[in-house]
Amino acid sequence: MAERRLPKPKVAGSRPVFRSILLPTARIFLLYLPNTGGAFVLLTAISRITEHHKTFATSGNASERRLDVPHTFWITPSGVGWSDIGLADLVMLSVQTGEVVSGTLRPSTEWRAHQAIYSTHPWVGGIVHLHSLYATILSVIGIPVLPVHYQMARVGDQVPVVPYQTFGTTALARRVAETIASDTRAVLIENHGLFAVGDSADDALRAADEVEWTAEVQYRAMLVKSPRVLTRDELSEARDAFRTYGQNPTSIS
Q: 229 in a domain, yes or no?
A: yes
Distance CA 221, CA 199 (A): 31
Which residues does residue 100 pair with via DSSP β-bridges, in sequence order?
93
Predicted confidence band at 228 (pLDDT cuts at 50, 70, 90)? very high
Domain count for the chain, please give it. 1
What residue numbers bound the domain in which 27 lies?
Answer: 17-242
DSSP strand pairing (161-162 vs 186-189): parallel
Distance CA 92, CA 53 (A): 25
Q: 248 in a domain, yes or no?
A: no
Q: 64 in a domain, yes or no?
A: yes
Contact (Cβ atoms closer than 8 angstroms) between residue 145 and residue 159: yes
Q: What would the pLDDT profile of 53-96 be if each residue is shown by its tens digit?
A: 888 889 999 999 998 888 999 999 999 999 999 999 999 999 99
CATH number (domain holding residue 97) = 3.40.225.10
Range in 11-20, 106-115, 134-143, 188-197 with the lowest mean pLDDT: 11-20
pLDDT exceeds 80 at position 33: no
Distance CA 10, CA 8 (A): 6
Contact (Cβ atoms closer than 8 angstroms) between residue 148 and residue 204: no
Per-residue confidence (pLDDT) for residue 249, from 0 to 100: 61
Give the burial string for 14-38 (b: 16+ CB within 10 Å, else e): eeeebeeeeeeebeeebeeeeebbb
Q: 182 in a domain, yes or no?
A: yes
Per-residue confidence (pLDDT) for residue 35, from 0 to 100: 59
Q: 1 in a domain, yes or no?
A: no
Q: 193 in a domain, yes or no?
A: yes
Can you give the pTM of this predicted structure? 0.84
Q: 219 in a domain, yes or no?
A: yes
Contact (Cβ atoms closer than 8 angstroms) between residue 106 and residue 77: yes
Q: What would the pLDDT profile of 149-196 be if each residue is shown by its tens digit?
A: 999 999 999 999 999 999 999 999 999 999 999 999 999 999 999 999
Cβ neighbours, 10 Å, residue 126: 28
Q: 7 in a domain, yes or no?
A: no
